[in-house]
A = this chain, B = another copy of it.
C-alpha cells in the first residue's frame, strides 16, 4: 500500500478519536493540566463510566496518560498542543447550515484558548 494511503489512514484514526463532542470537551478540560475522572464527569455532566470509557480509548491511542494516586486516577494530555489544534478547527465550522451563532463560537474559542498556567 502506498505510503500516503497509510498516512491518510492513520490520520483518519486521530480524527475519529477526536470526532466526538464528549471527547472534545474532555481534551479541552485537560488542556490546563491533569484532572481526575470524577472531576471531569462533574464538570461535563456525564456519567463517570462514560468518561472512563472515553479516557480509556484515548489512552489506548496515546492521547492521554494516567497517574494514580490512592483511589483517584488523574489523566493528562501527552501532547497538550492537540487542544490548540482542535480549537483551530473552529475556523471551519462557521458558514455551515446548522445554526450555531458566531458569538458562541467566539466564546468557546476564548474559553478554550485561555491561559494554561
Pick from A31-39, A48-56, A67-75, A91-99 the stretch touching chain B. A91-99
Among B10, B18, B97, B107, which residue has its beta carbon within 8 angstroms of that of A15? B18
Residues of A within 8 Å of B, CB-based: how many?
48
B19 touches A12 (CB 8 A): yes
How many copies of this kind of chain does the complex include?
Answer: 2
Main secondary structure of the interface of A (DSSP, over half): helix
Cα–Cα, bound, A108→B107 (Å):
35
Among B3, B16, B88, B100, which residue has its beta carbon within 8 angstroms of that of A85? B88
A7 touches B108 (CB 8 A): yes
B92 touches A79 (CB 8 A): yes
Q: Does A90 contact B (CB under 8 A)?
A: yes
